[in-house]
Amino acid sequence: MLLGLSGVGYLAGGLLFGIALFRAGLVARWASALLAVATTSTVALAVLPTSFDRLFAIPAGIALVGIGWSAWRVAGAPRVAPRAGVVTEVVR
């Protein structure tokens, strides 16, 4: 029971997280799309031999590396200073 529930959580979580990252556009879109596809493609492992388990983990790993790399690249980018004379007021 618990194993089936964790499988559903992995599928739904990977798919929703990949879609959310894709729509937000904060990281590389190819990596977020690959994450969504790779996590949902693990459903095929139910009918395939166990020798395919590691092969299906490779795209998810590549997607996570791509997401981490692009997030790190964006975080280290120089920030643009506001122009002189432009008021940037935070309205709460």
Stated pTM of the model: 0.75
Place of tokens 């879609």: 19
Ramachandran angles phi, psi of 88, nearest 5°: -115, 90
Burial string for 7-33 (b: 16+ CB within 10 Å, else e) reads eeeeeeebbeebeebbeeeebbeebbe
**In this predicted model, what pLDDT tens digit does every residue of 34-82 receive, in sequence order?**
999 999 998 888 888 988 888 989 999 999 999 999 999 887 777 666 6
**In this predicted model, what pLDDT tens digit does every residue of 2-37 receive, in sequence order?**
778 888 999 999 999 999 999 998 899 999 999 999
